[in-house]
Amino acid sequence: MPSRSGLAELPLESRRTFGVAMIGYAFMGKAHSNAWRNVASFFDVPAFEQKVLVGRDAGAVAEAAARYGWAESATDWQTVITRDDIDIVDICAPGWMHAEIAIAALEAGKHVLVEKPLANTLAEAELMTAAAAKARARGVQSMIGFNYRRVPALALARELIAEGRLGTIRHVRAAYLQDWLGDAQAPMTWRLRRKTAGSGALGDIASHAIDQIQFLTGESILEASGVLKTFVTQRPGPDGLEDVTVDDAAWATFWLTGNIGASVEASRVATGQKNSLQIEVYGTKGALTFDLENLNELRFLDATAPVREQGFRRILVNEPEHPYLEAWWPQGHIIGWEHTFTHQVRDFLLAIRDGTQPSPSFEEGLNVQYVLDAVEESAANKSTLTVVRH
């Protein structure tokens, strides 16, 4: 017999309070923590608790847990993922740790959200995807964190393309440019070592651009040709100069299903560019342009209008009718980069509640990994490669 609250009529996943554990507390851990802390204030999501934040330095992770709203901290992720009060594991650790943690968490029956790229190597990504598929059969969900899919302007762009407003898509250009490594004296970090980072600008930021090309068009990359370049080959480390073993910049051209051509440029030494993901989509009936440094704006050209009226017009993506924005502020009150992570957590929680596969799935992350691998091999062999897709 239903209770007075009506909860007995709801699925079990809608009635329970999920315990969340996060592994990693630096840059991405801070961004994800902000999302977990705020998502329920704006969106109708299942109940959850920020149970535990995990890191290697006991003092530092305890301080971060207190600051970011976690109930407790820990240093042993293996123990945390086996706890009965943990239902969701959010992995914000460096890429070299993704496979081990994600596979163990999935096997322990925990829903898993992991930052991009999926892994440091294609072999690890394949193992993670296989584990995710096996866990999904038991009702355990998993998702990769390509947060730019949750930029309202880019979600709107995908809707306009799917509605046919651009006609047949012919080609896409994407450039992700940063300059934080422009100074040759910038110190060595784990992001500059292949063993810990997997790759440089290619995996770190070009992966976002590659995902966006496929996300916006709804098509898949078939062929890839790439060039990688390391401009600063040594950087100061704790013990003197250390070799940089990843790329500073990457260039790639692609051919997609749907007869679409695309290009990607990614650089972490582009002087003056702080965090600019620029995307251009060109079709037979129109075009769209976007720049992450103006993330509330989308520019749209309607080529079906009379020539005398054509030109790119600015869409301020702030209306309640736009993706995700009904939950936020009145029209004209812009949102920021951090909101993409809030939207990501919201979508992940709803997928868990509803028992549906969230997107992007590990399979979608693996497909990006195949493209990254093909670009690297192409750059090494100076060749064009057919991309293997999952």
* CATH code at position 287: 3.30.360.10
CATH code for position 83:
3.40.50.720
Pair (158, 11) in one structural domain = no
Give me the percent of the chain exceeding a pLDDT of 70.
95
Pair (97, 161) in one structural domain = no
pLDDT digits (tens, 9 = 90+) for 69-103: 999 999 999 999 999 999 999 999 999 999 999 99
Domain count along the chain: 2
Q: Evaluate whether residue 356 is within a structural domain.
A: no
Q: Angle at the Cα of 79 (from 77 to 81), degrees rounded to 5? A: 70
Pair (233, 283) in one structural domain = yes
The SS3 call for residue 192 is helix
Pair (185, 122) in one structural domain = no
Pair (95, 217) in one structural domain = no
pLDDT digits (tens, 9 = 90+) for 194-228: 999 999 999 999 999 999 999 999 999 999 999 99
Pair (248, 299) in one structural domain = yes
Task: For residues 321 and 323, give the distance between their C-alpha atoms in angstroms, rounded to a whole number.
Answer: 7
Pair (29, 153) in one structural domain = no
Pair (43, 175) in one structural domain = no
Which of 118, 147, 176 terminates a domain? The answer is 147
Angle between helices 122-136 and 98-107 (to 10 degrees): 10
Which of 105, 125, 147 terminates a domain? The answer is 147
* DSSP string computed for 2-38: --TTSGGGS-HHHHSPEEEEEE--SHHHHHHHHHHHH
Token couple for 146: 């390509």
Q: Evaluate whether residue 348 is within a structural domain.
A: no
Pair (311, 300) in one structural domain = yes
What residues in the chain have per-residue pLDDT under 70? 1-15, 388-390
Pair (240, 265) in one structural domain = yes
The reported pLDDT for the residue numbered 385 is 77
Q: Evaluate whether residue 353 is within a structural domain.
A: no
Which of 117, 147, 177 terminates a domain? The answer is 147
Q: What is the residue range of 280's domain?
A: 148-335+361-386
pLDDT digits (tens, 9 = 90+) for 163-191: 999 999 999 999 999 999 999 999 999 99
pTM confidence score = 0.94
Pair (197, 287) in one structural domain = yes
Pair (280, 171) in one structural domain = yes
